[in-house]
Amino acid sequence: MSIHINAPAGSIADTVLLPGDPLRAKYMAENYLQDVTLYNSVRDAFGYTGTYKGKRISVQATGMGIPSISIYATELMRDYGVQNLIRTGTCGGMADRVQLRDIVLGQASSTDSSIIANTFGPGVYFAPTGDFELLTTAAGIAKDAGYRTLVGNVLGEDRFYNDELDKQKLMDYGVLATEMETPALYLLAAKYHRRALAIMTVSDHLGRDEHLSADERQLTLDDMLTIGFETAATVAKSAE
């Protein structure tokens, strides 16, 4: 057990999908996994383990924001030995070429958070990046399925309501989308020498004030979740 995950040793798989929303974690477990067990309900941050195509995979809700995902990612790696962490979330499009329903794979993550400076001190600007094998695997799965997918830099914001940040300049430098968790996930994966990737659906666009309806969001999330589970299955251990 850890402070925030009430799971006995061995109950969490070596490969974990990380939705922010606990209800999405429940949806993923009920619709994608077989032989599911609930291993965590502390603070309603639901965690499940089951099998997908014969591979043992877990799903753990992380909540929103860098502080929240930092807690769960740290405890999963440090206390439960998790090796592969795949974020399955949503993001807001920033670049003009980004469209609603696009799937964004975070190759790297810029941030306005102090998490990088607090970790390395002044003078070092560490660049949090996703795992290359997970990234290329997810990109290949998405391409084969015919999903419109973009790969590149995403912005991991410290605040959801952030009027002071110059998002236009970030767009000018090629940042595809904004969200709130990826830099912490990539930083911590680097710390523990594990593999991580963020797979995200574009649910709205900041520059065009566009938003998916509830039905459209659900349809597109299933595309993104399929990529997540298929990617996880390529690196997860067999359930046998």
Q: Is residue 177 part of a domain?
A: yes
pLDDT for the residue 240: 63
What is the span of the domain harbouring residue 97?
A: 15-235
pLDDT for the residue 219: 63
CATH of the domain at 79: 3.40.50.1580
Q: What is the pLDDT of residues 96-128, one digit of tens each?
A: 999 999 999 999 999 999 999 999 998 999 999
pTM for the structure as a whole: 0.96
Q: Could you please report the per-residue DSSP string of 156-175? A: E-S-SS-SSS-HHHHHHTT-
**Residue 149, Cα to own-chain centre: how many angstroms?**
15
Q: Is residue 9 part of a domain?
A: no
Q: Is residue 4 part of a domain?
A: no
The C-alpha angle 119, 138, 101, rounded to 5 degrees, equals 95
**Among residues 176, 20, 26, which one has the least CA distance to residue 110?**
176
Q: Is residue 2 part of a domain?
A: no
pLDDT for the residue 216: 73
Q: Is residue 10 part of a domain?
A: no
pLDDT for the residue 138: 98
pLDDT for the residue 13: 98
Task: State the total domains in the chain.
Answer: 1
Q: Give the chain's residues under pLDDT 70.
A: 218-219, 240
Q: Is residue 87 part of a domain?
A: yes
